[in-house]
A and B are shown apart, each in its own frame.
Chain A
Amino acid sequence: MRGSDMSLRLCLPLLICAAALLPGCTSLGVKPWERDVLARPDMQLDSDPLDAAIDDHLYFSKEASSGGRSFAGGGCGCN
């Protein structure tokens, strides 16, 4: 089907890129005493969980996509 061809064409190269980058990850990063900026509340990936939950619920009920950042399951009957 059209959909799965597209997905394979795009997802596979993306996965290969990600896997190729992984060894490079060992040279990236900071020393423990350089984590001051990263410790800021606004630099946490889960800085605003309720905003994310409310938005996720809104988009789950109005669009055909969900998830990505977290599990895609809806858990509600709105789609």
Chain B
Amino acid sequence: MTENRYSLDGSIRIEERSEGLLAVCFDAMASPCELLLPVRHRSEAIELGTAVANEAWRVERKFSRYRKDSVVSVIHRSRGSRIVVDEETASLIDFAQHCFAISDGMFDITSGVLRAAWHFDRSDRLPPQADIDRLLPLVGFQKLQWHRPVLVLPPGMELDFGGCGKEYAVDRAYEQLAALHSEPFLVNFGGDLRANRAPPSGTWKIGIERPDTICEASMLLELEQGALATSGDSHRYVMRNGIRYGHILNPRTGWPVMGAARSITVAASSCVEAGLLSTMGLLKGGEAEHFLGEAGVQHWINR
């Protein structure tokens, strides 16, 4: 039986939004996605929305671990033999390698295997340490051999681009659209977004949801242009003896990072940059404020 969480039926719909905006909406990467445009560009909306949706689906098809035909699945089936990856995948692995280095190993795209031990279903079940001990040898970016474009992934290890995949898709879709359309637009994939210019009303109004009440937006941000990314663990956690174990795992111990914020939103010039900073903020646990303050980016931390 396939575990298929996404609706890839390819449907795109248009909705009216307040402040004279149109939204072209579709589903991708397990999130509601949209392209926002001023209503005066209605005639181009479908064409531009289709371009954005196609790019989102292309990235998802290519890097999703749930699809048998994705690059990631092909890599996982290589079982320790040399595999030559294409330019785009090579660039993403290079990027992941940089992030691994500059985060001192905390951002690690090989840590996905740890999810087999953790079930973040808001129950109080913690995994046995033995299960984590069995998985830890399979985690560690330094264990794979990467000499662009040749990758050797030891058997049992996995690559998981989920940590930067959605933000990367936003940036890719943004670039394609920016080449076609110089009027204002905003691309938003489930809260990771990027806008090229200010809309007619002056600013894009972004609601960042409050972690513990799913529906009510707590913060209203006003964005002229640039990218925003939000990382958080409000929905997936284990609660035991009053201690909350969020789903951001420390790849070195296999356990959740303690004291992580509920959600962190970061503004930067690109979505991957914003996404990496917000993820690293979570990985810093209680040090998030200090870390992001030093980084000199606009950020919002909810605890």
Q: Is A31 among interface residues, defined by CB-CB distance under 8 A?
A: yes
Which residues in A have their C-beta under 8 angstroms from that of B117?
33
Q: Is A32 among interface residues, defined by CB-CB distance under 8 A?
A: yes
Count B-side interface residues using an 8 Å CB cutoff. Answer: 8
Given A32, A33, A36, which contacts B155 in the complex, CB threshold below 8 Å?
A36
- Shortest A32–chain B CB gap in Å is 5
Q: How far is the CA of A31 from the CA of B156 in the complex (A)?
A: 13
Q: Nearest CB to that of B135 among chain A residues? A: A33
Q: How far is the CA of A31 from the CA of B117 in the complex (A)?
A: 10
Q: Is B277 among interface residues, defined by CB-CB distance under 8 A?
A: no
Q: How far is the CA of A64 from the CA of B135 in the complex (A)?
A: 51
Q: Nearest CB to that of A36 among chain B residues? A: B156
- Shortest A30–chain B CB gap in Å is 11
Q: Nearest CB to that of B114 among chain A residues? A: A33
- Shortest A35–chain B CB gap in Å is 10
Which residues in A have their C-beta under 8 angstroms from that of B134?
33
Which residues in B have their C-beta under 8 angstroms from that of A33?
113, 116-117, 134-135
What are the interface flags for A47-62 relative to B under an 8 Å C-beta threshold, 1 for contact and 0 otherwise? 0000000000000000
- Shortest A63–chain B CB gap in Å is 35
Which residues in B have their C-beta under 8 angstroms from that of A32?
116
Contact yes or no, B131 A31, CB < 8 A: yes
Q: How far is the CA of A14 from the CA of B232 in the complex (A)?
A: 56
Which residues in A have their C-beta under 8 angstroms from that of B135?
33
Most B C-beta atoms less than 10 A away, residue of A32, A33, A36 = A33
Q: Find residues 11-45 in chain A having any chain B CB closer than 8 Å to their own CB.
A: 31-33, 36
Q: How far is the CA of A70 from the CA of B131 in the complex (A)?
A: 38
Which residues in A have their C-beta under 8 angstroms from that of B131?
31
Which residues in B have their C-beta under 8 angstroms from that of A31?
116, 131
The 4 closest A-B pairs by CB, nearest first: A33-B116, A32-B116, A36-B156, A33-B135
Given contacts A32-B116, A33-B113, A33-B116, 6 further A-B contacts (CB under 8 A): A31-B116, A31-B131, A33-B117, A33-B135, A36-B155, A36-B156
The interface of chain A, by Cβ under 8 A from chain B, is 31-33, 36
Q: List 10 A-B contacts (CB under 8 A).
A: A31-B116, A31-B131, A32-B116, A33-B113, A33-B116, A33-B117, A33-B134, A33-B135, A36-B155, A36-B156
